[in-house]
Amino acid sequence: MYGAALLHRPSTALGKATDDDALRAGILSGYSLKHWDPSEEPIILLGSVFDANSLGKWIYDWTVFYYGPATPMSDVAGDLWLLLIQLSGKVKRADECIDKIRQEESRETVWDFLERGERLWVRFKKLLKICEEYMWKAAQRETGQKWPTNMSRNSGYEFIDSMFGRDRELDNTEKCMSAIRFWSMSFDENCNDILQNPAT
């Protein structure tokens, strides 16, 4: 798929997902599955499939590559990575436990957080698409092709500059991170006891 060359560097290599896993998840053939743990929800970026952890690491690695280690933006990218892991893990935990919750009020509480968590994923994926578009435009300018089949280092820089650039999407990135952070803290306060004792 287009863009796969860029997305293989730097990143996490899982090597676990199969074509059958992709078929079950509704992923079209041709996407690289190298970065996807099939036990997790898939996130598609250009020609690759990620999970929350591998995508967070990919963004962090490129941010360090772009801004340098131990810089404010690299710290932000590290926070984003952690927040994506928390969002994914808590949504998965709630989804796996909700049918075991006996009390209707408690089940509705968890269901509400589950739905809000899913909406946060939709919001984050929209941000990814905006940043992805900057990558496409950079590759088109560089190659002169409408549908470039290879992405350079500059395209990776464009993605990071889009997500964390003050004149681009940094404000939306920070708002999305704040929303995930608040959701995660509220989830712990309202759902942990329920999920630990679903039958009571």
pLDDT class of 75 with cuts at 50, 70, 90: very high
| First-last CA distance in the chain | 49
Q: Which two tokens stand for residue 117?
A: 């968590």
pLDDT, residue 143, reads: 66
Predicted confidence (pLDDT) at residue 94 exceeds the cutoff of 70: yes
Measured in degrees and rounded to the nearest 5, phi and psi for residue 45 equal -135, 115
Does 148 score more than 80 pLDDT? Answer: no
Question: What pLDDT, on a 0 to 100 scale, did the predictor assign at position 189?
Answer: 97
- Which tens digits make up the pLDDT trace of 24-68? 888 888 778 888 888 888 898 877 889 999 999 999 999 999 999
pLDDT(7) > 50 = no
pLDDT of residue 12: 41
- Of all residues in the chain, the percent with pLDDT exceeding 70 is 86
Confidence grade of residue 145 (pLDDT, cut at 50, 70, 90): low
Distances (CA, A) of 116 to 35, 56, 84, 110: 26, 20, 14, 10
Q: What angle do CA 122, 114, 126 make, to 5 degrees?
A: 5
Euclidean distance between CA atoms 155 and 139, whole angstroms: 6
Residue 168 CB: number of other CB atoms within 10 A?
16
Going by C-alpha positions, the residue among 61, 62, 53, 45 that lies closest to residue 14 is 53
What 8-state DSSP symbol labels residue 29? T
Q: In whole numbers, what is the pLDDT of the chain averaged over residues?
A: 85
Closest CA to 1 of 44, 38, 59: 44
Render the burial of 132-149: b for 16+ CB within 10 Å, e for the rest. Answer: bebbbebbeeeeeeeebe
Helix H segments across 25-148? Answer: 52-67, 72-97, 104-143
Question: Of 9-13, 32-36, 150-154, where does the model show the most confidence?
Answer: 32-36
Residue 20: band (very low, low, confident or very high) from pLDDT cuts 50, 70, 90: confident
For residue 105, count other CB atoms closer than 10 A to its CB: 8
Q: Which tokens in the block code for residue 107? A: 């089940």
Instruction: Select the more confidently predicted residue: 7 or 190.
Output: 190
